[in-house]
Structure 1
Amino acid sequence: MAQRNEAELANQEDDREIAAMIEDALQDPKIQVKVQRRYPCLRILLEGDCIPEQATAISLIRQTLEYKQPNGITQIEIYARHLGATQLAWRKTLTLPALDSLAAETFQVEGPSPRTDACSVVAPLPERSRRLSPKKISSAGWGALGTGLILAILLITISPLKLLFAGFLVMVHEVGHAVTHWLFGRPALPTVNLLYGGGITLVFEQSLVVIGLIYLGFAVLAYGCRFHPKLLGGVAGLAILYTFCLRTSINTMLSTFMGHGMELVAIALCLYFSASGYLCRIAGDRSIYAMLGFFTWFYDLQFSWKLIHDEDFRAFYEGGIGGVLDNDFVILATEYFYTDLAAITQWFLIACLLAPVVPFLVLRYESWFQRAVNLLLKQEP
Structure 2
Amino acid sequence: MKDDIRAVKDSLFDIVDRVTERTRGLVIRFGIVSYRDHPPQDKTYVTKIFDFSDDIKKVHREISKLDPSEGGDMPEAVADALHDARTSLSWMRDSYKVLILVGDAPPHGRAYNNMGDDAWPNGCPCGYDPKNEVQLLKKEHGSTVFVFVCGCNPVVEDAFRSIANAVDGGVYYSLVEVRHVPDAILKILEGMSDLIESDQKVLRYYQSHDGVFDLGQAASDLGLELREVKTSLSRLIELGTVPRWPKGRPLSSGQIGLSVELGDVPDAILPGKAFKYQVRVKNPSSATAGVRIVVSIVSEDGVSEITNEQHEIAPRGDSTIDLKLVPIVYSKGKASVKVEVYYGSKPLASRIYSTRVY
TM-score, normalising length: structure 2: 0.25
Which has the higher relative contact order, 1 or 2, with Cα contacts under 8 A spaced 6 or more apart? Answer: 1
Higher strand residue share: 2
Q: Between Structure 1 and Structure 2, whose CA radius of gyration is higher?
A: 2
Higher helix residue share: 1
TM-score, normalising length: structure 1: 0.24
